[in-house]
């Protein structure tokens, strides 16, 4: 493979989300705007945390966020999530984002890696204890 950064998609894991950035998601240089990528990563992490919390969550912290490689308009992004820590009310999620260049599996690059913490909240928007873990 010509690109040294080429990798494979994680095996035996379903992506939390798959999405294709459009021209409206580009920055002034024509590549995909980092803020758009951050919002997709936050959304994917929140979906994962919502399942664990069995209800609403809010993002309390972006602990780390690394843009390893650029994302281009028309790439297919696959975003994978994994819970790495569970507290009393909080869930910390590792989020990895892979780009299939031009929506083709011939070139796959891990573009972004982040860790975010979510807090389960009630209707009053205050923290609520997480429910016991259920086996799925």
CB of 90 or CB of 112, closer to ligand COA: 90
Residue among 69 and 125 whose Cβ is closer to ligand COA: 125
Instruction: State which of residues 9, 20, 22, 58 lies at the interface with ligand COA (CB under 6 A).
Output: 58
Is residue 60 near ligand COA by the rule CB under 6 A?
Answer: yes
End-to-end CA distance of the chain: give it in Å, rounded: 38
Spatial CA neighbour of 93 closest among 32, 8, 21, 16:
16
Is there binding between residue 121 and ligand COA (CB under 6 A)?
A: yes
- Site for ligand COA contains 119 (CB under 6 A): yes
100 contacts 128 by C-beta, under 8 angstroms = no
Cβ count near 75 (within 10 Å): 24
What radius of gyration do the chain's Cα atoms show? 16
Q: Which positions lie near ligand COA, rule CB under 6 A?
A: 58-61, 87-90, 117, 119, 121, 125, 127
């Amino acid at each position: 493979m010509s690109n040294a950064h080429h990798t494979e998609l994680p095996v035996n894991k379903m992506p939390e989300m798959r999405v294709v950035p459009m021209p409206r998601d580009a920055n002034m240089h024509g590549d995909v705007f980092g803020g758009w990528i951050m919002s997709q990563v936050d959304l994917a992490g929140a979906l994962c945390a919502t399942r664990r919390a069995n209800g609403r969550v809010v993002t309390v912290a972006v602990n780390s966020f690394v843009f390893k490689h650029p994302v281009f308009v028309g790439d297919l992004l696959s975003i994978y999530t994994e819970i790495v820590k569970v507290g009393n009310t909080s869930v910390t999620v590792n989020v990895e984002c892979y780009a299939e260049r031009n929506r083709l599996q011939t070139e796959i690059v891990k573009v972004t890696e982040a860790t975010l913490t979510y807090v389960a909240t009630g209707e009053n928007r205050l923290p609520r204890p997480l429910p016991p873990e259920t086996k799925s």
